[in-house]
Structures are given as C-alpha cells and as structure tokens.
Amino acid sequence: MGKILGIDYGIIITGLSITDQNKIFAFGLDAIPTKKLMIYLESIIYKEEIEKLIVGLPKKLNNNLEFFLEKKIQDFLAVFCKKYPKVSIIRIDERFTSKLSFYYMISSGLKKNKRKKKILNKISATIILQSYLRKITLKNKNL
C-alpha cells in the first residue's frame, strides 16, 4: 500500500508533503529548490512507494489560471509522466493555501525571523494534500 505525495509547485521553491501509510493524514515533507525537484523525487518515489501525486492548480480569485506558473507546472508534469507513468496525478485548487500557511505560522507563535519561504511552501503542500484527503473521505462517506 503506497503513499500520496502533495506538491505546492513554485518557480523557485517547491513544497512537498506526504501521507501516512493509511492515507489519512498529510505531513510536511520538505521544501526544496524547484530546479532540484526531479532529483529529489527520484530518491523518494520508489522508497516511499508513491502511487499518486496531488499537485496544486494555481488559480486566481476570478477562477483563471496563473498562466506563467501553470506553464511551468505543465512542463514539470510532462517530464514526470514520462519518467513515472504508473504514478497518477490529480490537480487540486490551491487558492488561499499560502495565506492559510502564513496564518498557521503566525497563530502557532512562529517568530518573524523563523518564518521562511521554505516553511510556507511545505505547509502549503500539506494543506493541498490534506484538502484532497478530506475530499476523498467525504466522498466515501456519501457512498
């Protein structure tokens, strides 16, 4: 039984999260330079038995896509799909994840000098993945 990986793709830093074995909880995994993302994924895809990738869909408030970022994500996904064709990919709306992440950092008492972009991205990836898990749980309860 594999795990699910969450990705908050950024132009400079990408946040990553992962589920537990039972796919109930999402945990912040890491935040890495985006240019090293494929190398990082090579080290965990098989080790963690990743079966699904949940990638944020960068939408604006008016529901339009952030074109520049989405183009970068599509380029990444094209390479990823070629290398890992058995890993399914699901996109989920990521609006407000950065704002929620920032709110969680402040409400947890994290001092200003400790608030880093890497932490923000990792929390955002966790929110994206937990949103997906919540959606699946609700869907299964309604069946």
CATH code for the domain in which residue 66 is found: 3.30.420.140
Decide if pLDDT at 59 tops 80: no
Domain assignment present for 141: no
Angle between helices 67-83 and 37-44 (to 10 degrees): 40
pLDDT at position 122: 86
Render pLDDT for 103-137 as a digit per residue (tens, 0 to 9). Answer: 555 566 655 554 465 677 888 899 899 989 988 88
pLDDT at position 123: 83
Domain assignment present for 92: yes
Domain assignment present for 140: no
Render pLDDT for 26-55 as a digit per residue (tens, 0 to 9). Answer: 999 999 999 999 999 999 999 999 999 999
* Helix H or strand E encompassing 31: strand 26-33
What's the CA dihedral at 39, 42, 45, 51 to 10 degrees?
Answer: 80
Number of domains making up the chain: 1
Decide if pLDDT at 1 tops 80: no
What is the average pLDDT across 23-28? 93
- Strand 13-19 and strand 3-8: the pairing is antiparallel
Decide if pLDDT at 142 tops 90: no
pLDDT at position 26: 94
In DSSP terms, 109 is beta-bridged to none
* pTM (predicted TM-score): 0.83
Structural domain including 11 reads 3-133
pLDDT at position 112: 55
Domain assignment present for 142: no
